[in-house]
């Protein structure tokens, strides 16, 4: 079933995010994936994927999120080794077992409404081609999540 069809069936953002994360983990062969949706006041992110199984995903301050740089700049972030992740202030909230990170913005038209993130315990887990594919996927998903938010 397509993601857009899920939205038209009246399924909420949480359920769609869970299904999106399931597919992203399969496509990119990683166990860690997140959908981060920006609040209307743009100060917090609803973090789908950080605590799977929770009825309500936690909210994280944008400024405290590893995705803050992506949310602010609207540009993808790819980091390939643990030492760089630890040194990079923009990703200080990444879990200690994460060695590779790929975060791309969810952009609806020109506005950033959130981010998609993939995390891996392996070094160099994500390539430039993975980044391009995730950017393409995020461009389709942004409209879906924005329409769900407005309905």
- What pLDDT is stored for residue 47 in this prediction? 85
What's the number of domains the chain is made of? 1
Degrees to nearest 5, angle at CA 19 with 71 and 148? 60
- What pLDDT is stored for residue 19 in this prediction? 85
- What pLDDT is stored for residue 135 in this prediction? 96
CA 89 to chain centre: 18
Locate all alpha helices (DSSP H) within the chain, ordered by sequence.
3-8, 13-27, 68-73, 82-87, 128-150
Q: What is the pTM of this model?
A: 0.82
Are the C-beta atoms of 48 and 76 separated by less than 8 Å? no
- What pLDDT is stored for residue 103 in this prediction? 94
Q: What is the mean pLDDT of each run of 10 residues along the chain (151 residues)?
A: 48 79 92 89 84 67 87 92 51 64 94 93 92 95 82 62
Per DSSP, the residues of 103-132 read EEEEEETTEEEEEEEEEESSTT---HHHHH
Distances (CA, A) of 45 to 40, 74, 97, 121, 128: 10, 15, 22, 23, 26
Which CATH number characterizes residue 96's domain? 3.30.450.40
Segments forming the whole domain that contains residue 84? 3-150
């Amino acid at each position: 079933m397509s993601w857009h069809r899920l939205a038209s069936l009246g399924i909420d953002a949480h359920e769609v995010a869970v299904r999106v994360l399931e597919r992203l983990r399969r496509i990119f062969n990683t166990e860690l994936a997140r959908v981060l949706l920006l609040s209307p006041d743009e100060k917090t992110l609803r973090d789908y994927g950080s605590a799977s199984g929770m009825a309500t995903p936690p909210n994280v301050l944008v400024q405290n999120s590893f995705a803050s740089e992506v949310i602010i700049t609207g540009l993808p972030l790819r980091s390939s080794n643990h030492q760089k992740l630890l040194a990079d202030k923009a990703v200080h909230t990444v879990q200690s077992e994460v060695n590779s990170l790929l975060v791309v913005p969810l952009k609806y038209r020109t506005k950033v409404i959130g981010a998609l993130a993939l995390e891996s315990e392996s070094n160099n887990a994500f390539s430039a081609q993975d980044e391009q594919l995730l950017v393409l996927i995020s461009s389709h998903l942004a409209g879906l999540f924005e329409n769900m938010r407005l309905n």
